[in-house]
A and B are shown apart, each in its own frame.
Chain A
Amino acid sequence: METLETIKNLTMTQWSFYAVSVLTLFGALGTILSKNPIHSVIYLIMTFFSLSAHYVLLNAQFLAAVNIVVYAGAIMVLFLFVVMFLNIKDEAPELDNNKIVIGASIVGGTIGVILVAAIRLTESQKIDPSTYQIKTGFIETLGQLLYSKYLLPFELVSVLFLIAMSGAVMLGRKEKGERNF
């Protein structure tokens, strides 16, 4: 009865939090359990959209937009492209390999139980509305910080992209000559 009371008393925001969370976890489970890689991709896109919804709830609108543009827009298209390009059919019955599944469940379960149990124990402190900065996730704040304090890492990300660009071109290019096994 108590749980029912709790559910009845949920506010609109809490409802949306729980609904979006369920959607997130459903998408995540779908990603790792689907047999067909294309289904995995679609589930993963669903997870990304629901994470964006979380960001909107948390008042980080700019990151929500960037999340959709970068992840759902660019990264997942790349995934989908590779899956279609390689024409990967349903692979061999990989999930039937019981030893791996049992081992992985034990590892995952242990970490999970420790984390969940410990997080339950920690108290979260109250937030004082008078000192709260509503503009935290706004584009002005983030832009100012990114181009002043974080200028050096921002510039150095370009080095990473240069490596990724030349590396991907180098590895993806077709090579003449025979293979060596």
Chain B
Amino acid sequence: MYPIISLSVTGLLTLFLGFSENKKIVFPASIAFLLIALATAFIDWNAPGFYFNDMLQVNNTSIVFWAILIISAILIMGFSEGFERFEFAQPAEYFAIVQFSLVGAIMMVSFKNLIMLFLGIEILSVAMYVLTGADKRNIRGNEAALKYFLMGAFATGILLFGMAMFYGATGTFNIGSGVFIGGDNSFFLWIGCTFMLIGMLFKVAAAPFHLWTPDVYEGAPTIFTAYMSTIVKTAGFVALFKVLSTTFSGLQDFWWIMIAVLVTLSLMIGNIGAVSQNSFKRLMAYSSISHAGFMLLALLGDHENALGSIMFYSVVYTLATISAFGVLMVVSKERIEKGRVYEQNDLFKGLAQNNGFLATVLIIAMLSLAGIPLTGGFWGKFFVFRDAASSGLFWVIIMAVLMSAIAIYYYFKPVLLSMSKKTSLESITINPLAKFIFAITTFGTIVLGIFPWILRSLF
């Protein structure tokens, strides 16, 4: 509960900092504000409860997710130093919007009432529409913002229709008690469940609701692509899990087969689509669709384990994604073509020779995303497979394993390019903060690859 208050207030303070003469103060101040929010998150540790007339549910699980979201935001925002050229013409507004958007993400992981879920999704989405279009003079960024906005608003409409039908069937917006098919209202419940799921799957970019993903990921400024593929996804999956495991747990027979089909579709479209991509950001977009498929796989299993698996998966995915996009940001700013940064795969050609540190970071991130043992990604996949196996869905698991094999091919493309002899780059400068972040994410990926239980045994 406290981080919501803290982030709302500090966001406002950040807006006021924009009036000051010295714009340089905004960046360290925002990081400090985020750290304060992180500290306040733990005030409620071991003090579970419901706040504000059953609007918020706070327990240790939700506090862990708050911490994950805020730490991801700090890691991503760390890359924004020195990026004045594109995104940071008005730094105060950007950092304020980032802090406000975290309020939405926190609402999404600890809501108890559908109004809070709806508002959380909207706060996060509206912030993301603005941030996607942040690079105003870039026509690709504009296009991405418009596409994201139209698709997102459309998805909101569908989600709301589902919520209205749910209200019609149950007469409440509270998600506390489970609902069951039967009686006069079962039809409203079906429609409500289906439409709410569609609306939320749009937001987490699961196929076949993924059509916006590649374009938006490519067009958005890289730092916000990283933001959208980590924070929006984590918050979205927790919200999806909460809705499915509490309210709709009685309808499991109904949504279960739907999710199983969506897992198959997401894995196929994500992995096969990624093979032919030349742009690194599009590759990561398709990869994010396939990871959405893997995370949905956890929902098919036993609810006891699912949240832990989703938590572990989102942490390793977040670490690897931040590394990958961070390397892209650092390297691509060295090569400007036609007034914008160059973001194709062959940007990484000869990176190992040029800068061994960045190449190591990139390679470990790619190995983790591909799910190679001794990286966190392996255990992430292992846990969701184990969950799904407990439900006896072997055809989906066989499919998922096959698709992971395809994934190795396209994740190795940038890796092999970075090992090649010829280099097209001058020497690359990394500022110390970025170096520090790379160290954290890479170290985290390897530690979780060797000792997964330190995180998995949390709950």
Contacts and interface: CB of A to CB of B under 8 A. Distances in A.
A163 interface: yes
Given A159-B8, A160-B119, A167-B130, A118 B184 contact: no
B97 A163 contact: yes
A153 B188 contact: no
A30 B89 CA distance: 42
B116 A122 contact: no
A108 interface: no
Given A156-B103, A156-B123, A171-B136, A121 B187 contact: yes
What is the interface residue range for chain A against chain B?
A: 20 to 34
Nearest to B7: A159
Interface string A129-160: 00000000000000000001111110011011
Given A152-B56, A179-B137, A167 B188 contact: no
A159 B339 contact: no
Contacts of B123: 156, 159-160, 163
B67 interface: no
Given A156-B103, A180-B338, A180-B339, A166 B119 contact: no
Interface string A102-130: 00000000000001001101111100000
A98 B94 CA distance: 42
Given A125-B184, A153-B116, A157-B119, A166 B89 contact: no
Interface in A68-108: none
Interface residues of B, number: 46
A29 interface: no
Interface string B1-41: 00010001001100100000000000000000000000000
Contacts of B115: 150, 153
A5 interface: no
A175 B137 CA distance: 8
A180 B116 contact: no
A167 B89 contact: no
Contact of B100 (A118, A152, A159): A159
A33 interface: no
A177 B122 CA distance: 32
A164 interface: yes
Interface string B332-368: 0000001110000000000000000000000000000
Given A163-B100, A167-B129, A119 B90 contact: no
Interface string A2-14: 0000000000000
A42 B335 CA distance: 50
A37 B283 CA distance: 38
Given A167-B93, A171-B130, 13 more contacts: A123-B184, A125-B184, A150-B115, A156-B8, A157-B119, A162-B96, A163-B101, A168-B130, A171-B136, A175-B137, A180-B137, A180-B139, A181-B339
Interface of A: 115, 118-119, 121-125, 148-153, 156-157, 159-160, 162-164, 166-171, 175, 177-181
Interface of B: 4, 8, 11-12, 15, 51-53, 55-56, 89-90, 93, 96-97, 100-101, 103-104, 107, 113, 115-116, 119, 122-123, 126-127, 129-130, 133-134, 136-139, 145, 184-185, 187-188, 190-191, 338-340
